[in-house]
Amino acid sequence: MSMDMYAATVPVFDRMLANMQTWIRTARDHAIAKGFDESVYLTLRLAPDMLPLPRQVQIASDAAKSGAARLAGIEVPSWPDTEASLEELLQRIQKTRDFLKTVSAEQINGSETRAVSVPRRDKEPLQFQGQDFARFFNLPNFYFHATTLYALLRHAGVPLGKMDFLGQPK
């Protein structure tokens, strides 16, 4: 049985990216309410060897846009990772959501067996068939970084709960 590759990816990315925007806005509002500089969030890490909060957003964004592009068989957009404020991270997420709107179901559906190559620094690229790429690499990677963003903000006292992570039913 084949899966609806579009339904399993693009709307999933878009919903979580929208949730991520809500978390960041909540963090901004929390900083204002508590009277501290929101830039302190930009230095947050869960462990010394983990990437800081901006990189979590950038990598989640990259996973969404590159996943959709690779499954659609189109060029992956390349954006610099220069965001240095919560507002710039919100803009990055919106730019990703806007890109996802340009990728159609017709481009992605049928990609279950499409060859997908994921480049890596100084190593051989990872090779997948589309369905395995989506299920076992791309979506888990996306959720890893989205969840890390959530955990960083929650750990810093931002008033977020499980339903903020899941998002409201549509």
- Beta bridge partners, 118, equal 126
In whole angstroms, give the CA distance from residue 80 to residue 115: 26
All structural domains of the chain with their residue ranges: 10-159
CATH domain 10-159 topology: Four Helix Bundle (Hemerythrin (Met), subunit A) (1.20.120)
This prediction has a pTM of 0.96
Q: How far apart are CA 112 and CA 131, in angstroms?
A: 4
Give me the tens of pLDDT residue by residue for the chain, a chain 170 residues long: 577 999 999 999 999 999 999 999 999 999 999 999 999 999 999 999 999 999 999 999 999 999 999 999 999 999 999 999 999 999 999 999 999 999 999 999 999 999 999 999 999 999 999 999 999 999 999 999 999 999 999 999 999 999 999 998 76
Rounded (to 5) percent helix, strand, coil in the chain: 60, 10, 30
**φ/ψ of residue 8, rounded to 5:** -80, -10
